[in-house]
Structure 1
Amino acid sequence: MKHQDEIWIKLKDLSLPGILVIPENASGLVIFSHGSGSSRLSSRNNYVASVLNRNNLGTLLFDLLTEKEDLIYENRFNIDLLTQRLIEVTLQLKKQTNTGNLNFGIFGASTGAASALRAAANLHEEIKAVVSRGGRVDMAQESLQMLEAPTLFIVGEKDEVVLQLNQTAIEQISGTKEMEIIPGATHLFEEEGALDKVADLTADWFKTYL
């Protein structure tokens, strides 16, 4: 059994909508940081989340921007703002009775991986693991050396520019790290079986470290 809620996360001066799922006997909670132009309704992230739920991991998908903020294109690439939102939401969940006792991880996709890595570097021991899917890790350059959480980079073989960025980034991390290259996959992992592989790798990583 699992418990699913459509929630509003109240921050200082705004509220952000989210989908919180906590399976019975959950061993951890994974917070999703989606890429630009996406939202809590992202079909790819929801699929990955469903696989995590089946592996007894809780998930939170939420909108990092309000509807009004999202109308301003530049906000989608304001990594400082998105990172701060991710940090605030994480700290908020740490105070909640139904989530505060869980180990936390962050899953970031595309530009969302930049805010995931930066938030994890800032939150230190609060974040136990990170997974980056097709991540624009170059946008988190200054945080990589401070990253303590075990981090998995998943990249498509044919996503050549992002693959090179990830190969450069992983060398700067001194802690536990791995890279998985999905054969034949492009940036959105739309090829047959590619997203299944992403989800399985992600579940294994978070089960190991959460």
Structure 2
Amino acid sequence: MLEHTLVHLSPELPAAELCRVSGSQGLVVFIRPDGGPATVPRSQAVLLRLQARGFSTLDLDLLNSADGEGGERASDVELLTRRLDQALGAVPASVKHEPLGLFASDSGAAAMLRAAASHPRSIRALVSRSGRVDQASDVLGDLRIPTLLVVAAGDPELVEANRQAFGRLRCEKRIDVVPRATHHFLEAGTLDVVAQLASDWLTQHLATGT
């Protein structure tokens, strides 16, 4: 059974949609730095897969309507990190004690890595999709949280940036380069691959308690 509610985590953030799954194996915070609608297909495909695998999800946009869609604020890692820290500190009590994983893309992934470095004991797994992990290069060596990097083969500059970041990580780690995919994974079947990789990684590290 799924229970959907809107939760307000910070005055700076739009309401986030919390989906509680009966018998949940953990909570996955799905981080978006775009200021756009939560119903974009590439967001929903991953959220639905995670829910089907038994995870509660929190769909969190780090930009509000005043920030606009995209633009400079979507690349302001300091701003995104501060807002993510606020949100993580205000996770609803109903799911606060569930094993916690984070999923993020673009500059949101950099904010995720920076926030995770400050919460090493409360977060069990990280997933970056097309993440600008190079924007968090100074914390990579400090991370001790299992981290999965997923990047599109058709985005060679980002592949190289992710490979360099991968080399600096000292935690349990994995990198997957998805064939036939470009940055937003709009090609047929490629987003399904992302969803499968992410759900497998999160299951391994949240559901098993490792």
Q: CA–CA distance in 2 between the matches of 1:197 and 1:21?
A: 22
* 1:91 corresponds to 2:89: yes
Give how far 1:182 is off: 0.8
Equivalence for 1:45: 43
* Alignment check: 8 A CA contact 1:108 1:135 kept: yes
Q: CA–CA distance in 1 between the matches of 2:134 and 2:162?
A: 8
Equivalent position amino acid for 1:163 in 2: V
1:11-30 aligned within 5 A: 11=10, 13-30=11-28
Equivalence for 1:149: 145
TM (normalized to structure 1)?
Answer: 0.92
* Alignment check: 8 A CA contact 1:34 1:111 kept: no
* Alignment check: 8 A CA contact 2:35 2:67 kept: no
Equivalence for 2:134: 138
Q: CA–CA distance in 1 between the matches of 2:204 and 2:69?
A: 39
* Alignment check: 8 A CA contact 1:5 1:19 kept: yes
- The percent of aligned pairs where both chains have the same amino acid is 32
Equivalence for 2:100: 104
Give the counterpart of 1:177 among 157, 170, 173: 173
Equivalence for 1:62: 60
Give how far 1:8 is off: 2.3
Give how far 1:82 is off: 0.6
* 1:2 corresponds to 2:5: no
Equivalent position amino acid for 2:59 in 1: L
Query: Cα RMSD over matched residues?
Result: 1.6
Change (3 A) 1:162 1:3: same
Which deviations, in whole Å up to 9, do the C-alpha atoms of 1:47-98 show, x marking residues without a partner?
10110000000111122122113379322211111111111111111xx331
TM (normalized to structure 2)?
Answer: 0.92
Equivalence for 1:120: 116
Structure 2, unaligned stretches of length 5 or more? none
* Alignment check: 8 A CA contact 1:33 1:115 kept: no
Give how far 1:38 is off: 4.0
SS at match of 1:187: coil
Equivalent position amino acid for 1:83 in 2: T
SS at match of 2:187: coil
SS at match of 2:128: strand
Q: CA–CA distance in 2 between the matches of 1:32 and 1:201?
A: 15
Change (3 A) 1:200 1:109: same
1:187-202 aligned within 5 A: 187-202=183-198
Q: CA–CA distance in 1 between the matches of 2:90 and 2:173?
A: 27
Change (3 A) 1:201 1:64: same
SS at match of 2:15: strand
Equivalent position amino acid for 2:162 in 1: N
Give how far 1:43 is off: 2.2
Change (3 A) 1:71 1:177: closer
Equivalence for 1:204: 200
SS at match of 1:69: coil
* 1:186 corresponds to 2:182: yes
Q: CA–CA distance in 1 between the matches of 2:70 and 2:199?
A: 34
